[in-house]
Structure 1
Amino acid sequence: MEEQKVKNIIDNLETFYNQLTVKNIDELSSIYSDNIIFVDPAHEIKGIDNLKNYFLNMYSNIHECHFSFKNIIIKHDISIIEWDMSFKHPKLFKGDSRTVEGASILKMSDDKIYYHRDYIDLGSMIYEGIPILSWFIRKIKKSLNK
């Protein structure tokens, strides 16, 4: 695939994710292939309909979510993207905004993404936002630093 086409897909992905709400979930079909494989630290989702349901559930609880793509590496039809995600969730971090770093591997064909794998620290994203767990995580980190 031409590098410019890949760049366009990535630009469209970033724009789409920054506009994603429960109201436009169906537009995932414009970015992802019908047989998409989407993997993150907690899930492996196969198929566009399952991915739509996953995002519908996730975005039903998030008050705000914004992505900033930083470094992008393109090699043929495969890309690696470093990104920051800022979000607000009413049950995490007292509803305050939180920013976490992550990276994605994307594989593309026919102007769509057919494989998307996210790498992110679930501890900093979720577990540290739950009061009792955050206390334990801080204790563990402190003991590791000794």
Structure 2
Amino acid sequence: MQWIENFKDMYTKLDAHSLELLDQFYHPKASFIDPFHRIDGLADIKEYFAALYSNVEAIGFNYNWQVAEQSQVVIGWTMTYQHPRINRGREVELEGVSRITLKDGLIIQHRDYFDGGSMLYEHLPVLGTAIRFVKGRMVAA
């Protein structure tokens, strides 16, 4: 499905200065949901991405697999990002899945599923140490 390839290509090009690319894919009343946020409306989605991209030093996606069926698309991905206050500014890798629902050929809902702890909390100085300790204890139990 060419639309999926175009969508994935758009996200590899997206940055704080190219947010107009989202207009080609998202419905004006679209919702974007992840473990930390729910954003409704394309204007607010663009605002969210503007803030996101202005705070990271680098971000990229590798797409691992996909399943498409009429108005639903599910894409597995690996995101790599660098943020100056996370993981001492070193690169972080995160596995996730996007579930996309289309309406009239545009995204009406984009929901990302990923482990918020792996993305953020485990890489913060004090909290990260505590979370890794608890995870280790759970495996050993």
| Inter-partner Cα distance in structure 1 for 2:136 and 2:63 | 31
> In the alignment, which residue of structure 2 is the partner of 1:12?
6
| Inter-partner Cα distance in structure 2 for 1:8 and 1:113 | 15
Aligned counterpart in structure 2 of residue 35 of structure 1, from 29, 46, 50: 29
Gaps of 5+ in 1: 1-6
* Residues 1-146 of structure 1 aligned to structure 2 (within 5 Å): 7-145=1-139, 146=141
Count of residues in correspondence between the two structures: 140
| Inter-partner Cα distance in structure 1 for 2:4 and 2:125 | 36
| Residue type at the aligned position of 1:10 | I
| TM-score of the aligned structures, taking structure 2 as reference length | 0.95
| Inter-partner Cα distance in structure 2 for 1:63 and 1:108 | 31
| Inter-partner Cα distance in structure 2 for 1:121 and 1:8 | 29
Identity across matched positions, percent: 32
| Residue type at the aligned position of 1:110 | D
Distance apart, 1:132 and its partner CA:
0.4
Runs of 4+ in 1 over 6 A off after TM superposition: none
